[in-house]
Amino acid sequence: MSLTQNILRALRINSCPPAAASSHNGSYSMKPGFAVNKRIALPLLGLAGAALLTRRSRMTWACHGSNNAHMVRRLQEESIIRDERLADAMLAVDRADYAPDIQDAYFDSPQLIGWGATISAPHMHAHVLGMLAQQLQPGSRVLDVGCGSGYLAAVFAQLVCRTSEEQQSEEQQCSAENGASAGEVTGVEHIPELVELGTANLQKSSLMQQLMRTGQLQVLQADGHWGHTARAPYDAIHVGAAAESIPQALIEQLAPGGRLVIPVGPSSEFQKLLVLDKAPDGEIIDSSDGLQVRYVPLIPRQDLAPSGK
């Protein structure tokens, strides 16, 4: 077992407390008023994306499950998932298909997937889904910047391509005859190996295979700062890495009534997880709740032309 895996195992506890701190993409987040032992945590952060919190706060890497259904139930029990639609979507996507180690698939912690990226902790995925719940409706268009393992793109596809209430089997394809109403999910990654990894993971599901064949679900290599204009505007945009500032292209590609969730700030410091809404008249409204996070940086790629142009 690697040093990284040993660190993550050492940080696990058995009960899931309220979400005072959250991990994401090899990083963690904290609500205002909570303290972190940076002397201990930050060196570990470089190894495993782990953090040790002081007695003034409590770890939330604890909604572990023995299987996918148990993990989702723990998230519901702690009110991290409050919407049954979101629970059903997470139930339909087995995290083990996207995690690098099947033995750790249902632990509530981030896991390294290679090339400096991780699959986020389940509780952080649940938080992001909750932030975007109103926009993740059947027929919506979603952009997932830094889609990594492909897990969240798969959950997005479950939500926008069909409702949980319909209880369709995984083999039933979302109707492509309805055009935009069929729903679309676009994932972008700047590392080609992660594009291949995410695509391979998604293809483990027959439903995702069908959605990729119809073009409703796709993973592309692109500089996330530029988004993907070909399928804009988007009802929901999720960014899984920290930008130094808000990319204007993502604002422009957001549909009226749409929402952008993005961490913003220097990679050497805590960032703010911004929640930005676009009003019908185009005004941008900051709906953030003050959550502080540590994300890996959103890396610009000068060699990649703006995607979709």
DSSP result, 13-37: -SS---SSEEE-SS-EEE-TT--B-
Distance CA 229, CA 41 (A): 39
Backbone phi, psi, residue 257, to 5°: 85, -5
Give me the residues paired with residue 53 across strands.
Answer: 36
Smallest CA-to-CA distance from 36 within 26, 48, 23 is with: 23
Give all strands (DSSP E) within the chain, no chain letters. 21-23, 28-30, 111-114, 117-119, 141-145, 184-189, 217-221, 234-239, 254-264, 271-278, 284-286, 292-293
* DSSP at 190: S
Q: Is 117 exposed, middle or buried (0-12, 13-18, 19+ CB in 10 A)?
A: buried
Q: How far is CA 37 from CA 14, 213, 227, 309, in A?
A: 21, 48, 36, 46
Q: Token digits for 133?
A: 């719940």
Catalytic residue among 22, 29, 57, 120: 120
> How many angstroms separate the CA atoms of 238 and 244, rounded?
16
Dihedral sign for Cα 246, 251, 257, 261, please: negative
Assess whether the previous peptide bond of 280 is cis (omega < 30° from 0): no
29 has catalytic annotation: no
Question: Of 20, 9, 30, which is closest to residue 60 (Cα–Cα)?
Answer: 20
* CA distances, 280 to each of 160, 238, 285 (Å): 21, 20, 11
Among candidate residues 100, 98, 90, the one with its CA nearest the CA of residue 68? 90
- Residues with a catalytic annotation lie at 120
